[in-house]
Amino acid sequence: MPQKVISFHYTLKNTKGEVLDSSIGQEPFPVLEGVRQIIPTLEDELLKMNVGEKKQVFVPADKAYGQVNEKLRVKVNRDQLPEGDIQVGTQFRAGQDPKDPVFTVTKMEEGEVFLDGNHPLAGEDLQFDVEVIDIREATQDELQHGHAHGAGGHHH
Ligand code: ZN
């Protein structure tokens, strides 16, 4: 079976029903089968669907972005961080490796900076409302790049 590209619309909500993200009003989101561009549970459900089909997919935190790790919530002195403008929302990578966690400043107080290295969606059970818009075979370009390209050709 050739690898497929599935384009779908999604609305992501948390368990309180708050919308966290959505593709509605934009191009449908294309995903290349098998490379785990998206949460595996969601990909597995999409692969069972047909064009035009809608579904609600529930993904518990453990299968999404994991539980909150308290060890990734740290407090440092302002002078341990690089010079420059630091404010709530500023992000730092912990090391040089792209796999190192990204820390976000959550609070600043009297020369102390509170950092959180958890994914913003850690600890959240996620609810995806999805609709499959298109299913096609992947192109050679997509297979070589290891990701799907959008309707307008090449998006990176
Ligand atoms: Zn590409």
> Which tens digit of pLDDT belongs to each residue from 65-99?
999 999 999 999 999 888 888 999 999 887 888 88
CA of 146 to the centre of ligand 1 (A): 7
CA of 147 to the centre of ligand 1 (A): 6
CA of 61 to the centre of ligand 1 (A): 30
CA of 37 to the centre of ligand 1 (A): 13
pTM to 2 decimal places: 0.79
CA of 151 to the centre of ligand 1 (A): 12
CA of 149 to the centre of ligand 1 (A): 6
Higher per-residue pLDDT: 50 or 80: 50
Buried-exposed string 122-146: b where 16+ CB fall within 10 A, e elsewhere: bbbebbbbbbbbebeebeeebeeee
pLDDT tens figures, 8-37: 999 999 999 999 999 999 999 999 999 988
In this structure, are residues 114 and 105 in contact, taking their beta carbons and an 8 Å threshold? yes
Q: How far apart are CA 28 and CA 7, in angstroms?
A: 6
The whole-number pLDDT of residue 132 equals 98
Closest to 93 measured CA to CA, from 78, 79, 84, 104: 104
Show Cβ contacts of residue 71 under 8 Å, excluding neighbours closer than 6 positions.
none
- For residue 153, is pLDDT > 70? no
Residue 49 exposed, middle or buried by CB count within 10 Å (0-12, 13-18, 19+): middle
- For residue 1, is pLDDT > 80? no
Give the pair of three-digit tokens for residue 54.
Answer: 């809608």
The whole-number pLDDT of residue 46 equals 97
Per the prediction, the chain carries an average pLDDT of 92
The whole-number pLDDT of residue 35 equals 92
